[in-house]
Amino acid sequence: MPSPVELFPARAAEIAYHVDALFFFLLIVTGIAAVGVFTLLIFFSVRYRRRTPPRPTPRITGHIRLELFWTTTPFLVFLVMFWWGARIYLAMAQPPAGAIDLYVVGKQWMWKVQHAQGQREINEVHIPLGQPVKLTLTSEDVIHDFFVPAFRTKIDVVPGRYVYEWFTPTVAGTYHFFCSQYCGTNHAGMRGEVYVMDPADYQQWLNLKSEGSLALEGRKLFLQLQCITCHVAGPKARAPILESLYGATIPLRGGGTAVADDNYIRESILNPQAKVVMGWEPIMPTFEGQVSEEDLIKLIAYIKSLGPGQTPQRNEESVPPPPPTETKKTESP
């Protein structure tokens, strides 16, 4: 027997209840206004219909109290809508401290997910019940949109920058997510499932899928790309020390400051001349085209993990770069 049609998707996140409450408030208010307008329209059409012989139009001088009423009442109602919506927006834009970090990369036509512990998924997201989860998202090609109807959360995923989304799942189960921004031929197939699991089952899943943390993989890349040549602790440093960098306010050469967040670190790797730290020369080469979006996430995770005294030393064993791919030369006849 087919399942009944649902008017609304399941509510499975904490913010979903607040979003639905605002939605129903808007629906009721606009519904009452629409019924009132159509009722008056019908009444006036009948009451003031054209008659034969035509009567002269009476002189109407206005009604101040009535005009004040229909001006101030909608204004106050719209003010309530704005205040309510702003509260929900600010709550959705500010992930709580201690939220579980997930990194999501959109690509035609799939979602690639990386956990901080190193687990990787494609078109699947495993998260624990009752714990806030923060998504850091970017795109490799065009604009996508990560939409989880059961959580009432969606955000445009833009190439060249990071955007953020968070939620706290409240009901265990499997829920669909979609790309809700048309992104090409197979846009409709760019979807997947969110698995909300009991915390004990989630921990067991993490243990089974562990592949090494993102910070550890980022450290390997840091050494492999020879970043240690300049970003080294001590008097031989030729670039800013990365210890406790993440989240700090950085003074910039030429004036101004910048917060060392994900987008700042990403820009500094791909376009290091854009925001040079005060007191240092702009000598860093660009790594545009040399590192993928997944590699950038690993490097950022590594830099975020660096506390006091944790910057690698030059005498540490570095990871050798991969050997160049041999190409066969074709001789002309």
Burial of 323 (0-12, 13-18, 19+ CB in 10 A): exposed
Q: Is 194 helix (H, G, I), strand (E, B) or coil?
A: strand
CB 249 within 8 A of CB 259: yes
CATH code (residue 241): 1.10.760.10
Q: Are residues 112 and 203 in the same domain?
A: yes
Break the chain down into helix, strand, coil percent, rounded to 5.
Answer: 35, 20, 45
Q: Are residues 207 and 231 in the same domain?
A: no
The partner residues of 145 in beta bridges, in order of sequence, read: 156
Q: Is residue 317 part of a domain?
A: no
Q: Are residues 166 and 91 in the same domain?
A: yes
Query: Pick from 212, 246, 281: which residue ends a domain?
Result: 212
Q: Is residue 2 part of a domain?
A: no
E strand or H helix at 126: strand 124-128
CATH code (residue 147): 2.60.40.420
Residue 320's φ and ψ, nearest 5 degrees, are -65, 145
Q: Are residues 206 and 226 in the same domain?
A: no
Q: Is residue 54 part of a domain?
A: no
Q: Are residues 157 and 203 in the same domain?
A: yes
Q: Are residues 237 and 192 in the same domain?
A: no
Q: Are residues 185 and 114 in the same domain?
A: yes
Q: Is residue 97 part of a domain?
A: yes
pLDDT digits (tens, 9 = 90+) for 260-301: 999 999 999 999 888 889 888 888 889 988 888 889 999 999
Q: Is residue 50 part of a domain?
A: no
Count of domains observed in the chain:
2
Q: Is residue 86 part of a domain?
A: yes
Q: Are residues 185 and 248 in the same domain?
A: no
From 211, 215, 214, select the one nearest 302 (Cα to Cα). 215
Taking the model in full, what pTM does it have? 0.79
Six-digit token pair at 225? 């790309």
pLDDT digits (tens, 9 = 90+) for 187-220: 999 999 999 999 999 998 988 876 778 888 888 8
Burial of 224 (0-12, 13-18, 19+ CB in 10 A): middle
Q: Are residues 281 and 202 in the same domain?
A: no
Q: Are residues 265 and 181 in the same domain?
A: no
d(CA 116, CA 301): 8
Q: Is residue 226 part of a domain?
A: yes
pLDDT in single tens digits along all 333 residues of the chain? 445 567 778 899 999 999 999 999 999 999 999 999 999 999 988 887 776 776 776 677 778 888 898 899 999 999 999 999 999 999 998 888 889 999 999 999 999 999 988 889 999 999 999 999 999 999 999 999 999 999 999 999 999 899 999 999 999 999 999 999 999 999 999 999 999 999 999 998 988 876 778 888 888 888 888 888 888 877 777 888 888 888 899 899 888 899 999 999 999 999 988 888 988 888 888 998 888 888 999 999 999 888 776 666 655 554 444 444 443 333 333
Q: Are residues 267 and 142 in the same domain?
A: no
Q: Are residues 247 and 276 in the same domain?
A: yes
Domain hosting residue 140, numbered range: 8-41+64-212
Query: Pick from 168, 191, 212: which residue ends a domain?
Result: 212
